[in-house]
């Protein structure tokens, strides 16, 4: 996964070219806030960073690797980031079951990015279905 992203970002002969629209997003970003609020009950807010570490690396081509590290192991997602107006769209290729996610974004500083958008999370921990919610993620570039 990381090797494929590095190869693509190095401008090898694989045809992956840098996307100038993504220049502001390029780098490794550490999560400083990652909260998910339940749509059904807005008083239910899960702070993922209380029990996990989150970071995302975005290459000049838009390829990304997002990692959520828990004590039990890491969850990794690889895909393609696209900028569409004031939103970003993450189209995962791995894992194959990961949904496409769209979030509004704003740079509150050159190296500080805020994402807000819909998501799904297992708020009741029944492992049956994930309920709809809203993600609020703040990222600091390394």
Cβ–Cβ under 8 Å, residues 59 and 8: yes
Cβ–Cβ under 8 Å, residues 120 and 130: yes
Beta strands in the chain (DSSP E): 27-38, 45-47, 52-58, 63-70, 73-84, 87-94, 101-109, 112-121, 131-141
pLDDT in tens, 90-126: 999 999 989 999 999 999 999 999 999 999 999 988 8
Cβ–Cβ under 8 Å, residues 119 and 102: no
> Position of tokens 């969850």?
75
pLDDT in tens, 35-88: 999 999 999 999 999 999 999 999 999 999 999 999 899 999 999 999 999 999
Domains and CATH numbers, the chain: 2-7+42-141 (2.40.128)
Query: What's the confidence (pLDDT) of residue 15?
Result: 52
Backbone angles phi, psi at 18, to 5 degrees: -60, 145
- Between CA 89 and CA 104 the distance in angstroms is 9
Burial class (CB in 10 A: 0-12, 13-18, 19+), 2: exposed
- The pTM for the full model equals 0.84
| Cα angle 127, 99, 52; round to 5 | 60
Backbone angles phi, psi at 13, to 5 degrees: -90, 20
- Between CA 50 and CA 60 the distance in angstroms is 31
């Amino acid at each position: 996964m990381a090797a494929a992203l590095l190869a693509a970002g190095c401008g090898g002969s694989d045809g992956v070219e840098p996307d100038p629209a993504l220049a502001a997003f390029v780098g490794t970003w550490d999560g400083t806030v990652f909260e998910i609020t339940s749509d059904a009950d807005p008083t239910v807010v899960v702070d993922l960073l209380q029990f996990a570490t989150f970071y995302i690396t975005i290459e000049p081509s838009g390829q990304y690797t997002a990692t959520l590290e828990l004590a039990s192991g890491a969850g990794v997602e690889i895909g393609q980031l696209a900028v569409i107006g004031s939103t970003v769209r993450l189209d995962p290729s791995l894992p194959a079951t990961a949904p496409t996610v769209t979030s509004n974004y704003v740079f509150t500083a050159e190296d500080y990015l805020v994402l807000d958008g819909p998501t799904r999370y297992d708020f009741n921990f029944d492992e049956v279905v994930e309920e709809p919610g809203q993600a609020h993620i703040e990222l600091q570039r390394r």
